[in-house]
Amino acid sequence: MEKAKISGMQLFTLMMLFEFGTAFLLPVAIEAKQDAWLSIMFGMIGGFLLFLLYYQLYRYYPDLLLVEFTQKIMGKWIGRLLSFLYIFYFANLAARVIRDFGDMLLTFAYPDTPLFIVNALLMFVVIYTVSKGVEVLARSSQILFILMYLFAISGFILIVCSGLINFANLKPVLEEGIWLPLKVALTQDIYFPFGETVVFLMILPYVKNASKGIGLSAIGLTGINLMITMLINVSVLGVSLTARSQFPLLSTVQSIQVADFLERLDVFFMLTAVIGGFIRISVFFYAIVIGTASLFQIKPSLKLSYLLGFVILMYSLSVANNYEELIKEGIKILPFYLDIPFQVIIPLLLLTVAFFKNKNTVKKARSTI
């Protein structure tokens, strides 16, 4: 662990930007059709429960990182294996996020630029930021949080003023009953983006006076923002077009036209996307760097950051053949084979073992008095 401390407000902005970073780009929960917003709400509730699980693990070992207390709970060899698997899990997610934003930027603004160049430029900025430590990353999130909300509020006002919203597209509510949005939430929305806050077990030990209220507030605000985003997308584009669009919010923003001169405000979308993507990749990459340094007893350095950054960069280019395959894997495969084990099953196992270990420790301490 590095010797650093961040405030509760910095943790809040970091978590909020991290969760919102990729989710607002995609047609989240669109399988629930016009009830996508309801599915996101159910996912948010599940996210609350998962964060409480992670927070309880942190409470047992407030001075240890995830890769450190897994060894304390499960023993040296099993713990080190689980720690290595978590580092790989974070690396997989980081590579997929880089690929998401690389494909988005190629589609939106740089169609003739090689994917490697776009991903490499983004990765270079992430490497530089992470090499400066978690305090710099946290302070950056505070500034970028304000900028993102200025863009978001401006965009919302322009969408309303342009008269694009058609509430008829949101009807009928619960057309297929409550089971459809609940099913989508249980199979997708809980794990992306809310369950990915498991990565903050690599950051919570640096927080001064960390409380569960900070994390729950960040998850709640993210959930509300995603619900509003999907309500706007569906009300403007309709269910069918939202489902077909690679980036539905981009299609919505491109539809803005106010007073016959204020239009093509794609820059709002791009700047917001870059901010969210930068924070999201940086958090995952910081967890990878600090986790690798702790697991292999290496001092975190710029050289280590560059080495791991190059590995993640190359992995991002090979993680999928195209954007459609990337999204399909993220929705159909990733939740069952990676998200559920690393976000739910393993943390539950760790918490159960930690509970009994700490219970026995307390009994032994009392018996010696």
DSSP string, 31-78: GGGGGHHHHHHHHHHHHHHHHHHHHHHHHHSTTS-HHHHHHHHH-HHH
**pTM of the complete model beyond 0.85:** yes
Cα dihedral across residues 18, 20, 26, 30: positive or negative:
positive
pLDDT digit string (tens) for 53-75? 999 999 999 999 999 999 999 98
Helices (H), 61-171: 66-74, 76-108, 115-131, 134-161
- Cα 92 to chain centroid distance, Å, stands at 13
Contact (CB, 8 A) for 323 and 29 = no
Which helix (H) or strand (E) segment holds residue 366: the answer is: helix 346-367
* pLDDT at position 9: 93
Instruction: Quote the CA–CA distance of 70 and 325 in Å, as a whole number.
Output: 33
* Helix, strand or coil, per DSSP, at residue 183: helix
For residues 234 and 123, give the distance between their C-alpha atoms in angstroms, rounded to a whole number: 33
The per-residue pLDDT for 280 is: 93
pLDDT of residue 329: 81
The pLDDT assigned to 290 comes to 93
pLDDT in tens, 163-177: 788 888 888 888 888
- Compute CA 342 distance to the chain's CA centroid, rounded to the nearest angstrom: 14
Instruction: Give the pLDDT confidence score for residue 256 in this predicted structure.
Output: 73
DSSP 4: -
pLDDT value of position 287: 95
- In this prediction, the residues of the chain whose per-residue pLDDT falls under 70 are 1, 258-265, 300-301, 360-369
pLDDT for 218 equals 93
* Residue-level pLDDT at 1: 64
- At 74 the pLDDT is 92
Angstrom distances, CA of residue 271 to CA of 134, 313, 359 = 23, 22, 50
3-state SS, residue 131:
helix
What is the CA 220 to chain-centroid distance, rounded? 14
CA angle 151, 153, 158 (to 5 degrees): 95
Q: Residues near 198 by Cβ (< 8 Å), separated by ≥ 6?
A: 50, 54, 66, 342, 343, 347
Give Cα 254 distance to the centre of its chain: 25
CA distance 330 to 18: 17
| φ, ψ (nearest 5 deg) of residue 258 | -120, 125
